[in-house]
Homo-oligomer: A and B are copies of this chain.
Amino acid sequence: MFFILNFEIMTFTVTILGSSSATPTSHRNPTSLLVNMNHKYFLVDCGEGTQMQLRRYKIKIQKIKHIFISHLHGDHFFGLIGLMSTFHLLGRDEELHIYANPDLQQIIDLQLKVSLTELAYPVIYHPTNAGKSEVIYEDDKNLVKTFPLIHTVPTTGFLFYEKTRLRKIKKDFLHKEEVPFDMIPKIKSGADFISEDGKIFKNEEITISPPLPRSFAYCSDTAYNESMIEHITNSDLIYHEATFMEDMKAVAAEKQHSTAAQAAEIAKQAKVDKLIIGHFSARYKELDKLYAEATAIFPETLLANDGEVFKVGGYQ
């Protein structure tokens, strides 16, 4: 029992379900991605066809309990009602939590009303406020925080981050000493251990440092926006939209989108480890030039492709 607690696998991955911008292409669905954070499944945005993508990539959809919608442009939420209907038809009874602009609930409710559908499971809406940064989700290991983006409608980014991790108890100590169950979390939190015969074990002798907490930031859709940097600094991984190339900088600004170079500039200033760019305009059949523009500024740039899985941090 102790060993399972002590050496559990701490998965933290991001699976791209859609990497196109407003219109889908033959290889790219509209925006969606799945964050698997310590075995909790968080769906982020839900463009049309997301349920088909989840099926294609063999992701167990009923494990999704929390869905985060960045803003109410169709390419980020038109697939939600279909996914919710499928949950219902597959007999779901577990709660579904949706974090989104409050207008979303009206849209969902109206569609359920006209189709005379009463969902068999509870849906809990958590309204987001695009004007400020706030923690909107918390469990024993994970936190999710919003931060404001700059776009043509109210839009939030999401930061997924681990709480400070507990220290790890050394294996050989657990083998040699009889440690009462209730002492385990105390030792993991930094307490010394005194055995029944009065021997004192200093915490630093019987534990090792925890891995650093990891974080992933989702920044889509947004104009070039330095004010987000404070929220995403030092992240292990960020996803930042890169709808256009630099020659369309003026169009990007007008539509409140970013270029690949601008995404790279944000990553560089925020001192993140790695940057995924996505939300590509359908005009780009090949991405090599767009990729070159980003890597010239931030070499650790990765291209989003539907179905690709990225690890967050190095502790897996």
Contact = CB atoms under 8 A, between A and B. Distances in A.
A22 B74 contact: no
Contacts of A30: 82
A116 interface: yes
Contacts of A52: 24, 29, 48-49
A229 interface: no
A115 interface: yes
Copies of this chain per assembly: 2
Interface residues of A, number: 38
Contact of A22 (B48, B72, B75, B85): B85
A81 B78 contact: yes
Contacts of A55: 24-26
A296 interface: no
Contacts of A74: 81-82, 85, 111, 115, 117
A105 to B, nearest CB: 11
30 contacts: A22-B86, A24-B51, A24-B52, A24-B55, A24-B86, A25-B55, A30-B82, A48-B49, A48-B51, A48-B52, A48-B78, A49-B52, A74-B85, A74-B115, A75-B82, A78-B82, A78-B85, A78-B111, A101-B114, A103-B114, A104-B114, A106-B110, A107-B107, A107-B110, A107-B114, A110-B110, A114-B153, A115-B153, A116-B152, A116-B153
